[in-house]
Structure 1
Amino acid sequence: MSEPRREAPLDHAAMKAFAHPLRIRMFAHLTDVGAATATQLADRFGESSAQTSYHLRQLARHGLVEEDAERGTGRERWWQASSFSIPDTQAREDPVLRSLAGTVLAGLLEQRMLALRTWSEDVDAPQPWVQASLQQATTASLTADELATMNEAVQEVLEEHIGRAKQRRESDPEASSGERRVRMYYDAFPLPLAD
Structure 2
Amino acid sequence: MSESEDRRYRRLDPRSLRGLAHPLRMRLLSTLRHDGPATASQLAEKLGESSGATSYHLRQLAVHGFVEDDPERGKGRERWWKAAEEGTRFDDSLFDNPDPAVRGAADLFMHEIATHHTEEVGTWLGTAHDWPEAWRRSSDLSDFTLRLTPAQAFELNAKLHDLIESYTELAPGPEAEDAAQVRMHLHSFPRSTH
Residue matched to 1:90 = 94
Instruction: Provide the rounded CA distance (Å) in 1 between the counterparts of 2:69 and 2:133.
Output: 36
Instruction: Provide the rounded CA distance (Å) in 2 between the counterparts of 1:13 and 1:178.
Output: 41
Contact 2:32–2:83 (Cα < 8 Å) also in 1: yes
Unaligned runs of at least 5 residues, structure 1: none
Instruction: State yes or no: 1:79 paired with 2:82.
Output: yes
Residue matched to 2:166 = 160
Question: Cα gap change, 1:16/1:115 in structure 2, threshold over 3 Å: closer, same or farther?
Answer: same
Instruction: Provide the rounded CA distance (Å) in 2 between the counterparts of 1:147 and 1:126.
Output: 35
Contact 2:13–2:94 (Cα < 8 Å) also in 1: no
Instruction: Provide the rounded CA distance (Å) in 2 between the counterparts of 1:189 and 1:7.
Output: 23
Instruction: Provide the rounded CA distance (Å) in 2 between the counterparts of 1:51 and 1:110.
Output: 21
Residue matched to 2:154 = 148
**1:151 partner amino acid:** N
Task: After superposition, give the CA deviation of every residue in 1:4-46 in whole Å (9 maximum; x if it has no partner).
Answer: 9522322222222222222122223234433322221022234
Instruction: Provide the rounded CA distance (Å) in 2 between the counterparts of 1:153 and 1:128.
Output: 27
Structural RMSD (CA): 2.5
| Secondary structure at 2:122 match in 1 | helix
Instruction: State yes or no: 1:104 paired with 2:109.
Output: yes
Instruction: Provide the rounded CA distance (Å) in 2 between the counterparts of 1:67 and 1:164.
Output: 29
Residue matched to 2:39 = 37
| Secondary structure at 1:164 match in 2 | coil
Contact 1:35–1:81 (Cα < 8 Å) also in 2: no
**Residue 138 (structure 1) shift:** 0.8
Contact 2:94–2:106 (Cα < 8 Å) also in 1: no
Instruction: Provide the rounded CA distance (Å) in 2 between the counterparts of 1:183 and 1:118.
Output: 12
Instruction: Provide the rounded CA distance (Å) in 2 between the counterparts of 1:90 and 1:10.
Output: 9
Residue matched to 1:124 = 130
The TM-score with structure 1 as length reference comes to 0.81
Instruction: Provide the rounded CA distance (Å) in 2 between the counterparts of 1:57 and 1:104.
Output: 19
| Secondary structure at 2:187 match in 1 | coil
**Residue 93 (structure 1) shift:** 4.3
Contact 1:4–1:80 (Cα < 8 Å) also in 2: no
**Residue 50 (structure 1) shift:** 4.1
Instruction: Provide the rounded CA distance (Å) in 1 between the counterparts of 2:106 and 2:50.
Output: 28
Question: Cα gap change, 1:21/1:86 in structure 2, threshold over 3 Å: closer, same or farther?
Answer: same
Contact 1:23–1:59 (Cα < 8 Å) also in 2: yes
Contact 1:32–1:183 (Cα < 8 Å) also in 2: no
Residue matched to 1:188 = 188
Instruction: Provide the rounded CA distance (Å) in 1 between the counterparts of 2:182 and 2:111.
Output: 22
Instruction: Provide the rounded CA distance (Å) in 2 between the counterparts of 1:186 and 1:140.
Output: 14
